[in-house]
Amino acid sequence: MSRFEDRLAARMEDARSLLCVGLDPSPGLVLGEGPDPLFDWGRQVIAQTHRHVCAFKPNLAFYEARGSVGVASLEKIMDYLASRHPDIPVIGDAKRADIGSTSDAYARFLFDHLGFDAVTLNPWLGRDALRPFLDRADRGCVILCRTSNPGADDLQTVEVDGEPLWQRVARMVAEEWNALGNCLLVMGATRPDDLRTARRMVGDMTFLVPGVGAQGGDLEQVLRAGLTPQGRGLIINSSRGITTASDPSGAAADLQQAINQARSIL
């Protein structure tokens, strides 16, 4: 299996897309009547949107909240993606980190059992807690850095040796944790100035960018601040804006087109 970044770059090129669709079955989701309605929902979203995406991103919390039934549905969704769309990388939005043996168990479950190509990770416990993930050269480590939630400034802007903590995280990931070239950063769309700063700090490292649309992130500002000179470097995530649309295929196509139009003129 090739490195995650290689697979991602190939998919971006083949699909002409920087769009990631979040497979997030929120609590208010109305499901059907079949034996596994959650799997049926996921399969329908994938069928309607796969032509337009560079990646899919299930948020584990929404499956875990439904107990063992939800986790079983996620397993089936992952098997479906592996068999029908093996060229599309899948990011597990898990935000995991813990002491060594626990983190190793998390990595084995997320990478080896569920089969995610990359997972989101929390840097708060430091490098040793993420080592079981970082040591997997074939998988992506998507590390929380500058998020778009209202409380992000409680910690992320606290100064450490003269720089905001989020910048310290970005620098450590780029200079120390990315020895195998498998690290990415989560950078919220609502903070384009910080996105621009991060791009200057970490070079061509890829950013997973949530928050375009419903959370207030401006697409053109995100692209202007975060694209690499090659016109890539961003995974722009949309979840409810596509999955709850009356026509998910059309919503995904519209966002893919808007991203590509903006890329062409920047």
Q: Which residues are catalytic?
A: 95
- Which residues have CB under 8 Å from 177's CB, separation 6+? 127, 130, 134, 141, 143, 183
Q: Are strands 159-160 and 163-164 parallel, antiparallel or unpaired?
A: antiparallel
Which of 145, 146, 138 is closest to 118 using CA atoms?
A: 138
CA geometry: angle 27, 28, 29, nearest 5 deg: 95
Looking at residue 14, the DSSP 8-state letter turns out to be H
What is the C-alpha to C-alpha distance for residues 219 and 251, in angstroms, rounded to an integer?
15
Q: How far apart are CA 205 and CA 240, in angstroms?
A: 26
> How much is the CA Rg of the chain, to the nearest whole Å?
18
DSSP assignment string, 170-210: HHHIIIII-TTS-EEEEE-TT-HHHHHHHHHHHTT--EEE-
Of 54, 27, 28, 29, nearest to 40 by C-alpha is 29
What's the distance, CA 229 to chain centroid?
A: 21
- Enumerate residues 6+ apart whose C-beta is below 8 A from 127: 134, 172, 176, 177
Residues 29 and 64: beta-carbon distance below 8 Å: no
